[in-house]
Structure 1
Amino acid sequence: MDLSFDKQHLWHPYTSTLSPLTCYGVKSASGVHITLQDDTQLIDGMSSWWAAIHGYSNPQLNQAAHQQIDSMSHIMFGGLTHQPAIDLGKKLLELVPDNLQHIFLADSGSVAVEVSLKMALQYWHSLGEPRSKFLTLKHGYHGDTFAAMSVTDPDNSMHSLYKGFLPEHIFVESPTIGFFDTWHDDDIKPFQSALQRHHQQIAAVILEPIVQGAGGMKLYHPNYLKAVRALCDKYGVLLIADEIATGFGRTGKMFALQHADIEPDILCVGKALTGGYMTLSATLTSKSVADTVCAGEAKCFMHGPTFMGNPLACSVANASLSILQTGQWQEQVASIERHFAKALPKLRQHAMVKDIRYLGAIGVVETHHTVNMEAIQAHFVKQGVWIRPFGRLIYMMPPYIIKHDELAQLIDAIDSALQKPECFNLQ
């Protein structure tokens, strides 16, 4: 493997070409193990950015891909359809809240968010009441494309340097009451006040239910989400739930919004939809929203990705959802949460630790100092694990199939990193 070529020419995510971080060459991956080119085996704590929920080289997903590629790897979705897309639509409707009846298949999570925002804008345009603002939470994250960046926290995120180029939307303080803490109505007041003041300008509220992902890995109380739904109903504003990171079991529910037992007007899913095999996303909405969008001037929804409804991706997604429909994931995720609940609080003893939190198959250690990515990554590889922190957050989102001893090795590796000053930027 020519890693020198990689370092000179391949631009990796969130990495500088002037001082590129070390990249470790991967030869193969199976189950929860990543095998490097030198045959070093790493236990995966990331599910390849939260997507490979069934692990790698899953036999059912492999079979689905092989069978589909022999008949048709891709066909345009404009004017044509196919059985994998129809099957996927049926499976999704069995899983999502009952009010969601129309499915727009796209090709990445960021595009699903773009689609949801365009739906909301076109909805109000069709009603003859154009609205251009979105209300969202600080410390939120919704993707790296332009509209998605515009509803991602402009001050506390990786997108702050684009401030001034993006449309300016309305941000409120993120919830402060944790998932397991005692609820108090004061937590919803900043949101309530903003919606009351600006609701006539707001096309939709967009947020990540229960878990704010890449914006800070914050876990908030289900009652906050219930209050958001009630306030959106009161002021006649659409609610978009971005479940790209949390959907398909990650928080212990099929969708995080189910912790609050609410129905959004628009739902975005992606990442784990195909079990991490390839890129596919979906934006689902109610019949009321879809029909209103299509009753307007354009007479249709003005969006159409080239790889929309890709049959190969749809086939793998069907296999992934079939695995979820067996229900095994529920005990797997519950078991991971129990392990986190027992093991993570012990890490509070380290001076480096500011907070620990967990929910479902999500475990987070927040530190007082930012990580030294080069040093901490090398440390984790030496410990035989793959964990990729960011900022002050060392987190785990492992495949659901991980075993207790493997999960323990991930946590032990974090424990040892917390004792190494060189793994952090102390100045």
Structure 2
Amino acid sequence: MSQSDILFDNKHIWHPYSSILKPLPCYSVISAKGVYLKLKNGKNIIDGMSSWWSTIHGYNHPILNKSLKKQIKKISHVMFGGITHPAAISLCRNLIKLTPEKLDCIFLSDSGSIAIEVAIKMLIQYWESLGQNRTKILTIRNSYHGDTFGAMSISDPDNSIHKIYNQFLPKNLFANSPNSKFNEEWNSNDITSFHKIIEKNTLNIAGVILEPIVQGVGGMKFYHPMFLKKVEELCKNYSIPLVFDEIATGFGRTGKFFAFQHANVIPDILCLGKAMTGGTITLAATLTSRNIANTISKSNIRCFMHGPTYMGNPLACSVANANIKILKKNEWKKQVINIEKELDKNLLPLVDHSRVIDVRVLGAIGVVECKQQVNLELIQKFFVKNGVWIRPFKNLIYIVPPYIISTKNLKKLTDVIKKSLDENTLFKSF
């Protein structure tokens, strides 16, 4: 990649959450293998982000690559309208086996945000089929569900990155997020706000949507499993469907295959994405109960009104099957346990640093919450210089490394985080 390529990129290509006038520097990656990203200058850096939670087995995995090569010789894409194919059927069989028995109807889509949009449309059409006009979604503050408009409408309206669009978005219902931390004592007052809202708005609520246990972009907070249990009880009492957004947490990231298993609860709709293909091609799925699917199908419309062009993409479905095959070996359990153990040992002590508010670890997730916001451009440069790829946001330095990472490379990530905390220039002034 030439210097002219970089200049072209800076001038013409928009990157996530960046400005076209003053873009953040981009580092040119020319290849990747295992946990390493190889830069244009030949330097290898350790990926601490799994390409935003997705590349759980590392890059260029031979089994995943083999599945892609095998499938592309047959067919790379075909419309899913009026056509089916073995890769999609096999994937849906696998997903039904992996998820609770209740979830046996699957809608495939092409990204996590769309999986959320599909879930919202399912909820609204479900109630329309029952002759009720319910359009409000109940969730909790500090939530994040994606960047499309339906997903933005159920992400925190005050604290999220979507605040600029508030006047355009549908107005949904937001209860207080629980204060009880994952590994601490449960405070029964945490469900009070949620209970009051669901009681007051019962006939308007189409469904409840939550990120189970881990709130992502809303602050990387881990809340108590009892909150999910109490929410499930209320949803059952008021006959309101419960939706879990496992797009980030699904496929083992929290130490359970799905985060909702920490609370032993079962949703009526489940949204999956990110790690489903092992970080190779975008793919998502929205799973629902037979009751919801049948009710929608009995409506005046008699069908579910959604159909992405790349729905059920054969390449994506094929590699997702290969990814699930790897996961079924259950090596991920030991890998995630080892990551959690090392993060406990090397990351948790940073809570005593003068710059730090809190440190949180759950499964293969490590979070350092700082008192000041980071200077993203400078801290990114610092991390790359020190041989790691970590992408903080606001005042949060977090890592979600590939499950295959070695103890040595994981310690390198945590050591560089520790080193960054001592650099005043990497943080914005109070």
TM-score with structure 2 setting the length: 0.99
Look up the match of 2:87.
84
Look up the match of 1:269.
272
Look up the match of 1:215.
218
CA contact (8 A) 2:48 2:401 kept: yes
Look up the match of 1:308.
311
Among candidates 167, 172, 196, match of residue 193 of structure 1: 196
Q: Which runs of 5+ in 1 are unaligned?
A: none
Look up the match of 2:259.
256
Among candidates 30, 46, 70, match of residue 67 of structure 1: 70
Q: RMSD in angstroms over aligned alpha carbons?
A: 0.6
Look up the match of 1:101.
104
Distance in 2, Cα, partners of 1:237 & 1:371: 41
Among candidates 135, 138, 154, match of residue 135 of structure 1: 138
**How far does residue 375 in structure 1 lie from its aligned partner after superposition?**
0.4
Distance in 1, Cα, partners of 2:135 & 2:74: 44
> In structure 2, the residue corresponding to 1:204 is in which secondary structure?
strand
Write the letter of the residue equivalent to 1:271.
K
Among candidates 228, 232, 235, match of residue 229 of structure 1: 232
Runs of 4+ in 1 over 4 A off after TM superposition: none
CA contact (8 A) 2:348 2:361 kept: no
1:4 aligns with 2:7: yes
Write the letter of the residue equivalent to 2:233.
A
Write the letter of the residue equivalent to 2:171.
E
1:188-238: CA deviations, max 9, x gaps? 111111111111100000010000011110100111001100100011111
**How far does residue 62 in structure 1 lie from its aligned partner after superposition?**
0.2
Distance in 2, Cα, partners of 1:323 & 1:183: 36
Superposed, 1:352-371 pairs within 5 Å as 352-371=355-374
Look up the match of 1:385.
388
> In structure 2, the residue corresponding to 1:75 is in which secondary structure?
coil
Distance in 1, Cα, partners of 2:349 & 2:359: 9
Look up the match of 2:287.
284
1:326 aligns with 2:336: no
Among candidates 398, 417, 420, match of residue 417 of structure 1: 420
Identity of aligned residues (%): 55
TM-score with structure 1 setting the length: 0.99
Among candidates 52, 57, 60, match of residue 60 of structure 2: 57
**How far does residue 248 in structure 1 lie from its aligned partner after superposition?**
0.4
Look up the match of 2:126.
123
Distance in 1, Cα, partners of 2:403 & 2:332: 7
> In structure 2, the residue corresponding to 1:42 is in which secondary structure?
strand
**How far does residue 117 in structure 1 lie from its aligned partner after superposition?**
0.2
Look up the match of 2:147.
144
Distance in 2, Cα, partners of 1:396 & 1:180: 19
Look up the match of 1:337.
340
> In structure 2, the residue corresponding to 1:27 is in which secondary structure?
strand
Distance in 2, Cα, partners of 1:31 & 1:320: 15
